[in-house]
Structure 1
Amino acid sequence: MNQCLFGTEVFMRVLTVMSGVIISATGAWCLAYYRSAFSSIAFILAIAMTLSGVFLIGAYLVSGKKRLPETILIEGMLTLIFGFVTLNNEVTDTAMAMFFGAWLTATGLIRFTQSLAVSRFDPRNWAKILPLSILSSIFGFIMMMHTLVSAINQLTLVGSALILNGLSQLVYAMYMVRHENLPHTEQVRERVEAKQAAAEAKRKERDELRQLTRSERDIRKRELRDAAAAQAEDKKRLARIEKQKLKEAREALLDPTIQLTEMEMAEIADAIQEDSAAIPAVEADDAMPEQIPAQEVLQAPETPKEPTAFVREEADVQPETPEMSWETLIKEPAWQTPAFPHKPDITEILEREVKKPEPLPFTPLSLEELIEQEKANPAQRLGQKKEEEDQRFTEEFSWHWPPKED
């Protein structure tokens, strides 16, 4: 497949190069016979332009699925039409410069658009096509101005136009590329194909349901509903598993303890055993007193000891320190030991039972009384309040007023 594509690309380049060579050679031939009449060389010009148009159209057709820009096809058809007009002797000597100037201007503008198309795929070399395309457009525009070119030999102008167009085709053949789908274009195509496949599947499913009876259709719908529910449950389960994994990974990162492998723990146990074996030997060496010569030893006078019959001397008993070994080494992680502080997780806090507030101590009777008080007349409530105030005042000051009669 790759060899086929490579051969196709080479073949379309060869056709474009042949078109450019034919046009350039014809232009050089016109410059060589610039003193001849146009009618004597019109047939050669027409054949050359016709072959150039055919080769350009062929290059577009053989470019395969990833075709060349459509401007190649337009240029080939335009050159073919101008060749047929020239072949029928429809071009006069006075309109010859304007005729070929219009053709050169159109092909120069087409070459400019082709260079922009190349820039999307080859941003380094696309600018090499611009100079000749711009020069061709300007030269063709000048050829269409009869007052500017009337004093110049017409065949010289035609030959120069053909050479410019041929060289422009040769440069474009070196950097021409076929259109390839860009990444965003591929993504859009994949999305469209996925939507089309989903719509087709729904249509087929709907057609199958229409062919079934009502009971079979209900059973089928129930199966589809159960399958969708199971799929949704699987998605939820996978989401919970992923969430649990992320939580464990986060806890492992936030854990202040050091994770030790079995090899590291074994090395630590061996080092502890070596230290415990070396400590008693050092203690024994320290416990041996230095031998002092007898003549140098001075006997200190003995001091009488106080009677300590009522005090019992006890030897200082030091608690034995357990020997560190692999058997006594804690093999479980530090965060699983009882001494490790346990911090409640946010999920445990949220799952705790929330105490509901106790209901207000309202009985139906007191509630009815409150409702009646709210519905009572404001004037009646004001009078009742005044009576209560008068009664309270009378009770407070009845000890001195009114005065008692003897």
Structure 2
Amino acid sequence: MNITEVIASLKSIANSPASLREDERKELLASFDTLRVKLETPFESSLRFVFAPHQSVALEIAVDMKLFDASAALSAEKKEFTLHELVARMEGDVDPSLVLRIMRFLTSMALFFEVGPQQYAALPLSHAYTTASPLSSCVVHMTSQNKIMAALPSYFRERGYLSPDDAYNGPFQYAHQTPLHCFAWLATQPRLQDAFNIMMTLPRGDTPLKWFDIYPVTTKLAVASPDDVLLVDVGGGVGHDLIAFKSSFPDLEGGLVLQELPVVVDSIPRLPTGIHVVSHDMFTTPPPATFGARAYFLSNVLHDWPDKQASIILANVKEAMAPDSVLLVSENILPDWKVPIFNASADFVMMANFAALERTEGQYREFLEGAGFELVEVWKGEGVMDGRRLLEAVLKR
């Protein structure tokens, strides 16, 4: 097959993608990435690396301008539209020249197709960023990290090339010139706090499976009495996991407790009957309502904290646990090698914001043992290709 045939084949795949299994889809994407790296010159690769943050900035500006809301409304009426038709649908006094500059990015990012000069057609991806989509909140929150990321080189030049290990004295405080922890600072920023709360409801990983889809809940988490606490969701956000859990196991006996900070609790809408909300800081003595539960669930909590502070969280959980209680930790586990760039980026986000880290299975085992737990099993859903795992631990005997 000559190069012309290869190009024609790739175009055919792009225009009419076949139905693929998840492993096939990921293998195909990895092949494209390998091909791109081999074909690029060092200069082209360098430009791709250093210009990458510009796309997220353009995307956030478009979200803020409600550009995607306007394009969605237009697309419902016609397949193609002009720049001026788009501007006319947008809120407030919008400069057409600015919208044009934003659209240059968005067309190159395959959110829109350029039919001609200043003429566009919306592509499916553009609908993912309307105001109603949680992905728009994800863009708002994650793009706010750019300031901290940009400060990392000077942070390390000034403080030495050591991984930060204190959540109250790390890159976040350096970049924002604040003594506040990231979460405390976030509470002073209503827009970003709201975006963060919404983002945390998004599913993690490449599978719709929930932790309770892969864990034998009915056999492992049975309680002796309906009055017993079945599950405490520590740092459970707005209750999305507990709501899904209750929906999947409506007849399972035992109370469900959501434990969260006041700023998050205040934003929670009405929860289903049977879910009790406790406003609490996980770094303080656990509240009586959480004592003696059958299981304590922490999802995406420990990766927010370096060992120094994460050990305090687990010490407080231990204080509330009964001898036969179970600790369930849902996290993204880094592989020991060949770490995908997405996971490497997630690790940098943890480092920048919280002086924390994404951990390998070995690091979690060592950390849990040091905190007085025994890791008894690592649960993985069938067909799961990413690093999402459920760690089951018990108190060390």
TM-score, normalization by structure 2: 0.18
Structure with the larger RCO, 1 or 2 (CA within 8 Å, 6+ apart): 1
Normalized per residue, the structure richer in helix is 1
Q: Which of the two has higher C-alpha Rg?
A: 1
TM-score, normalization by structure 1: 0.18
